[in-house]
Amino acid sequence: MEPWQHSLRNSLTDPTQLASRFALDPAPLLAVAQRYPLRITPYYLALLEGPGDPLWRQCVPDPAELAADGLFSDPLNEAQLSPVPGLVHRYPDRALLLTTATCALYCRFCTRKRAIGCGDQPADFTAALSYIARTPGLHEVILSGGDPLLLDDDRLDDLLSRLRTIPHIETIRIHSRVPVVLPERITEKLAALLGRYHPLYLNTHFNHPRELTEEAAQACGRLAAAGIPLGNQSVLLRGVNDDAETLRSLFRGLLRLRVRPYYLHHGDLVAGTAHLRTTIETGLKLVAALRNTLPGMAIPQYVIDLPGGRGKVPLLPDAIKQLGATAIIRAANGDRVAIANPGQDEVARR
């Protein structure tokens, strides 16, 4: 067993152990974890300072996750946009291949929290690869999940090699939080394996400057040394990174790791995440505060993924038609889409 697999096997999954470590009542943690599982790697557990800190809020069950918040289990309509099991085809030229149903750490704000840690890993990718091969309009495949880097090297190598036999697939992208929460997985061997399948891009997911550790820097350095362009997708999270100085420090630090800030996501309308969401107005003010204090390449696009699978839209003035309790955002096709946008007073009560 490789060291990263040993770490994964020894991750904290029992809420009573977490409660004992931090002198907490286990009952609320157990109630949430029965619905939305808990997993924290030994590495990330060591970074936690205690209840309520920005890393804690990302990974420790919160009773607010069980609140009837009027949000949706599948806000992006992925189930209806899945032509074959394990594949989401939302945009004409690219598809999302869901490689696993597990992650190294179960984020409390996950878009797919309805399924991650709650289902089985796909037995194989035959149906998905067959669909990709017979759909010539596809030019990019994005490996997501779960986390694709939890596949062992042999299985990942096999999947990438099969994708590379499809002539119309020009680029491959991997979305992974492994460099953040299980950096020991990013071995020289893995970096070399990925480097054989260029053009291949990797987007990781740092949300807070305290995640920019020496171990994470070494993991990103191995990938960059293999010629893999690195991007980062952060989620704007209440009590985690919803202030300008935190975001400024995060984005500056990412550039030091040779990781380009790519997207700052407004929180999806996912059931069980209302307590972590901010208003759109908050995000716009934060991005405005970063301008002229950071180089352009350090400022990601602030985007919202419209409900119903209508796609991502940069939150720019021409896209925003109304703000307030209900925001109106113009989709790429011109449709006006209503988004629940609770005011700061309501957000603060959650």
The verdict on whether 220 is a catalytic residue reads: no
Determine which one of 62, 107, 113, 238 is catalytic: 107
The verdict on whether 74 is a catalytic residue reads: no
CA distance 343 to 326: 9
Determine which one of 69, 74, 242, 268 is catalytic: 268
Distance of CA 50 to CAs 47, 96, 97, 109, 315, Å?
9, 36, 36, 19, 34
Determine which one of 57, 90, 248, 277 is catalytic: 90
Determine which one of 94, 173, 248, 277 is catalytic: 94
Determine which one of 110, 222, 262, 263 is catalytic: 110
Determine which one of 36, 59, 69, 103 is catalytic: 103
Contact (CB, 8 A) for 60 and 21: no
The token pair at 12 is 């904290």
Contact (CB, 8 A) for 225 and 187: no
Q: If you count them, how many residues does the chain have?
A: 350
CA distance 152 to 157: 9
The verdict on whether 103 is a catalytic residue reads: yes
Determine which one of 69, 74, 242, 305 is catalytic: 305
Determine which one of 57, 108, 238, 312 is catalytic: 312
The verdict on whether 312 is a catalytic residue reads: yes
3-state secondary structure 117-161: CCCCCCCCCHHHHHHHHCCCCCCEEEEECCCHHHCCHHHHHHHHH
Q: How many Cβ atoms are within 10 Å of 326's Cβ, its own excluded?
A: 11
Amino acid identity of residue 297, one-letter, is: M
Burial 185-217 (b: 16+ CB within 10 A, else e): bbeeebbebbeebeebbbbbbbbbbbbbbebbb
Determine which one of 39, 108, 112, 173 is catalytic: 112
The verdict on whether 25 is a catalytic residue reads: no
The verdict on whether 305 is a catalytic residue reads: yes
Determine which one of 91, 155, 258, 285 is catalytic: 91
The verdict on whether 94 is a catalytic residue reads: yes
The verdict on whether 91 is a catalytic residue reads: yes
H-type alpha helices, the chain: 3-9, 15-21, 26-33, 42-45, 54-59, 126-133, 153-163, 178-181, 188-195, 214-225, 244-256, 280-290, 344-349
CA distance 267 to 229: 25
The verdict on whether 152 is a catalytic residue reads: no
Catalytic residues: 90-91, 94, 103, 107, 110, 112, 268, 305, 312
